[in-house]
Each structure stands twice: as structure tokens, then as C-alpha cells.
Amino acid sequence: MEQVRLGKTGLKVSRLCLGCMTYGSPKWRSWVLDLEQSKPFFQSAIEKGITFFDTANIYSIGESEVVTGHWLREFSPNREEIVVATKVNGPMGKGPNEKGLSRKSIMAQIDASLKRLGMDYVDLYQIHRFDYDVPIEETLEALSDVVKAGKARYIGASSMYAWQFARMLAASEKHGWVKFVSMQPQLNLVYREEEREMLPLCRAEGIGVIPWSPLARGYLAGGRSAPKEGNTERARTDEFSPRLYYTPADEQVVDVVGEIAKERGLSNMQIALAWVLRHKAVTAPIVGASKLGHIDEAVSAVGIELSDDEVKRLEAPYKPKPVLDHA
């Protein structure tokens, strides 16, 4: 597996990142795999050269971090061989200070995340969306202090408006605080709105881009013409996808993905992921896997080259959408 720099940092990450939201507790979501069910996925990922793992405190209300830490310690006992990312913002309790990006919340949640992971530090500590209730200076200074305390090596951000991210980068520069090194936006063949402003901003600032949902929550893998269809439990129970996808233009994109996959003797997943991987701004897409074959397909997609004609065909049906899931 190729190892690449995360933005302009010296940190090297694998070309694919394993998204760990799938692993934790089925009490949180019915499609989530528990500790024992998750084991072969971490083993397979590490055996295939994936060294980058992304989770969040909110996933399974902390249990994803427990599972992730458990199996990474088992299959990669040398901590320096792997890059671990987690996130902060979502509600972790009923109290008003058990969520968000206040200094109080950040300082409490990094310690809680490290305890669950069983680690002394995370490589990348990310804000899980923008917090409209907290001054950005408070958030940025707290994150900077987390890094200076040795609890995180770098900081990152996730889906927000480009102007918000630009303000945060400028504030960090002004005050001499630790700056974001990565952005985690949504990017796939049926959601390309970040190509307008966020991705050009990241390229200009040397920010690594680690897109979430490169397969549109599995929609681009095919087998679904309507919500609640598909061959996985997540596809059949996903309440979120209908808010993002399933427009007539989206269906046309999926059809073209299927056509090119058939012509190339590949899967829809491989074609859709190859398109994200070829994007000049992208460092490492975050891929989820609920079946072991998903990891195999994702890894094989890294070496797939799409022709200019295939890219034009894939992109032609796209219709602009409202900006989605920034809150």
C-alpha cells in the first residue's frame, strides 16, 4: 500500500483510510459490528498495508474507539506503525457541556477518547463539524493546547463551509496556534459540491483531504434503486442516505458507473473509488467495510487508472445540489 504525505506535513498515511464507524455496538445502529465481529476487518486491513484508521467519540457512543483501540493494539503492537484519528463535537451525555467544541468539552473528551482507545495520544484529532455556539478562538486555542500537551500530534476538521474553514486557518495563523492539517469533507460521484470552494482552498493551503463516504454510503456500489434496498444491513436500514442521494441525476451516475464497471470487468465500488482516488486534492478516502470483500475491493481500486473518456462519462450526468450535512 502506497504511503503518502498528509497535506504539507511530514506525516505519512496509507492511500486508504479504514473508517471505523462500522465497528462498535449494534445497540447504537443495527448494522454495527461488535468486538469479535470486527476482528477480521482490522486484521485484513493491516495485512493489506492500511495504516490509517478513523473513528469518532460519537460512534457507538464511545464503543467504536474501544473496539478500534483493542484490535489495533492486537494487530499492530508497534504504535508508530499506524496513524489513528478520532473526532470531537457530538453529544456524549445529557449535560450541556458534554458536547460541542468549548474548551471544557475538548479537554474532557480528548482524555475520554484516549482512555477508550488505550493510547497515550492520537495522531489526528478532528473537530466533527463546525460549532456555531462557540467562538472559533476558544476552540482553536484548546486544540492547540491538546497538541502541546502531547495528547494529539496534529489537528483536523470536517465538513463545513469554505469561508468558515478559511476563518479558522487565518485565526490560527494570527495567534500562532497549531493549524489544521486536514479536512474531511464528503466527496463522491453523486456529491461533488466541495469541488467548488473547499477543495481548491485545501490545495492552496496544503491541507490534506480525507473524504468521507467516497461510495455515497454504498449507494454507488449498485444494487439499489430506492432507499432501504441493498445487500447489507446498513443499506436496508439507513435513514440518512435518502436525505443526500437518489435524485434522477444520481441514478444516471450509478448507471454509468455500472456500465464502465461491466466494460472493465470490475465492480461498481472499484470504479467509484478510483474516481475519488484520482482527484488531485485527495490524500486518502475513508472507506467503510461491513464485509471482508469490501476491503479487498477497496485496496484493488488504488491501482485502477480511469481514462479521460471514462471520467467524462462518469461526471457528465451530475446535477448540482444544495450543500448538505454541514451541521
Residues annotated as catalytic (active site), given as ranges: 59
CA distance 182 to 108: 22
133 contacts: CB under 8 Å, gap ≥ 6: 100
Place of cell 493489506: 48
Place of cell 456500489: 221
Q: What sections of 155-277 are H helices per DSSP?
A: 162-175, 198-205, 233-237, 248-264, 268-277
**Strand 3-5 to strand 12-14: parallel, antiparallel, or no bridges (unpaired)?**
antiparallel
Q: Provide the grid cell at 92.
A: 456524549
157 contacts: CB under 8 Å, gap ≥ 6: 126, 127, 165, 168, 180, 182, 183, 184
Contacts 24+ apart (CB under 8 A), 249-253: 249/190, 249/317, 249/318, 249/319, 250/190, 250/219, 251/225, 252/317, 253/189, 253/190, 253/220, 253/314, 253/317, 253/318
CA angle in degrees (0–180, nearest 5) for 317-321-322: 175
Question: Residue 132 corresponds to which amino acid?
Answer: Y
* 306 close to 235: Cβ distance less than 8 angstroms: no
Coil, helix or strand for 190? coil
CA distance 159 to 172: 18
Per the DSSP assignment, residues forming a β-bridge with 38 are none
Burial of 103 per CB tally in 10 Å (0-12, 13-18, 19+): middle
